[in-house]
Structure 1
Amino acid sequence: MNRYALKLAPLLLALALPSLASAADYAVQPAGSKLGFSGNFQGQSFDGNFGQWTAAISYDPAKLAASKFDVEVDLASVKTGDKDRDGALPGSDFFNVAKFPKAHFVTTGFRQNGAQVIADGNLTLRGLTKPVSLTVVFKPAGTGASMDVTGTVKRLDFGVGTGDYADTSVIANDVKINAHLVLTAK
């Protein structure tokens, strides 16, 4: 290596370091953000949401390897707008919040699938941890962004609604996850 190349090497390394930096950290703004789901009961679809949850979001679509999500949900905060269903969901037949008060999703990685970004991770619900993949749509806006996350979870994989409630002709096994996050840069 010549003398000029040796002098340029530290400069080139310093210029390359920002590209190796981690993804941007975001704070979720409760106003405008929602963590929801949709299900089907006796042929009728219904929507619900969780009123209490936290999410640590580090995301950069150009640096998916450095991106990560860590979401914790207070299952007792579930609401669907139906008094009977809202009373049953926290109970032992469904979420069993007395024994398992929280659900937890943490990413294991992100991947590009055509034009879509997929967040692969592990969901822990009712003491069971299973892999779950979610589609992510990220839209930068000024110093923040919005993020929409969708996917499907099989409730019976996590023991939600077993026994008399395991009949998928009454309560569908597929539960669609839908979150809309309003983010500001930290």
Structure 2
Amino acid sequence: MKAIYSALLALALTAPAVATATDYAVQPAASTLGFTGTFQGAGFSGTFGKWTAAIRYDAAHLGASKFDVTVDLASAKTGDKDRDTALPGTDFFNVAKFPQAHFVTTGFRQSGAQVLADGNLTLHGVTKPVTLTVTFKPQGAGAVLDVAGSLKRLDFGVGGGDYADTSVIAADVKVTAHLQLVAK
């Protein structure tokens, strides 16, 4: 028995450490989740005021990382009264039927110096793959996480009907997040 115990102890001491990703809590007051688009040739930007994010990240072992983000679509604000009134309605987000958007990663990969997060976005009842670029900067007991990606709004049925004309409202919408994180 003593020989088995000694062998297990020796194995444990010589085995490489198992990589574990860190779970992070988002600091909402210092974080933003936003979007930009174009209306009649002029750019506009907006933010979502209510959302949650479960973040697990390990830059050295991307396979252990995961993002799971849920967005309250009724919290979208652009600073334009007409646009802010229209976004929750049936022509755009239709929050009465689809109150939330949800993004969850399916994997991470290195592309040159850039880290990419592949995942599925469910918006307006439609689920499609979306890829985000990831910039992760450790800071003390936390980190700063910046992500960016682009999606085609009509792929998700957002702004269809009279608003499907991409010469009025551009097809591409850029999504960005700047998250201040603290390790749990």
Give the structure-1-normalised TM-score. 0.93
Give the secondary-structure state (helix, strand or coil) at the position aligned to 1:19: coil
Q: Which residue of 2 aligns with 1:121?
A: 119
SS at match of 1:65: helix
Structure 2 CA distance for aligned equivalents of residues 131 and 77 of structure 1 = 23
Match of 1:63 among 61, 64, 68: 61
% of aligned pairs identical? Answer: 71
- Once the two structures are superposed, what CA deviation does each residue of 1:21-65 show, in whole Å capped at 9, x if it has no partner? x31000000111000010000000000000000000000100100
Question: Of 100, 111, 131, which aligns to 2:109?
Answer: 111
State the SS of the aligned residue for 1:100: coil
Deviations 1:111-156 (A, max 9, x none): 0000000000000001110000000000000000000000101100
Aligned pair partner of 2:49 in 48, 51, 54:
51
Distance in structure 1 (CA, Å) of the matches to 2:60 and 2:7: 27
CA RMSD of aligned residues (A): 1.7
The residue type paired with residue 149 of structure 1 is V
CA distance in 2, matches of 1:138, 1:13: 31
Measured in 2, the distance between the counterparts of 1:15 and 1:164 equals 66
CA deviation string 1:81-100 (max 9, x = no partner): 00000000000010000000
Q: CA deviation at 1:101?
A: 0.1
Any residues of structure 2 matched to 1:2-13 within 5 Å, and which? 7=6, 10-13=9-12
| 1:17 positional shift | 6.0
Q: Which moved more, 1:9-18 or 1:133-142?
A: 9-18
Runs of at least 5 residues in structure 1 that lack an aligned partner in the other structure: none
Match of 1:19 in 2: 18
> Secondary structure of the equivalent of 2:82?
helix
1:18 counterpart letter in structure 2? A
Distance 1:64 1:177 in 2: 22
How far, CA to CA, are the matches of 1:106 and 1:96 in structure 2? 21
Query: Equivalents in 1 of 2:55, 2:180: separation in Å?
Result: 11
Name the structure 2 match of 1:155. Answer: 153
Q: Find the aligned partners of 2:15 and 2:170 in 1 and give their Cα distance.
A: 51
Distance 1:65 1:90, change over 3 A: same
The amino acid across from 1:56 in the alignment is A
Query: TM-score, normalized by length of structure 2?
Result: 0.94
1:167 matched to 2:174: no
In structure 2, do the counterparts of structure 1 residues 16 and 58 end up closer, same or farther at CA, with 3 Å as the change threshold? farther
4+ residue segments displaced more than 2 Å: 6-20
Tell me the equivalent position of 1:180. 178
How far is the alpha carbon of 1:168 from its aligned partner? 0.4
Instruction: Describe the shift of the 1:120–1:15 C-alpha distance in structure 2 as closer, same or farther (beyond 3 A).
Output: farther
1:99 aligns with 2:115: no
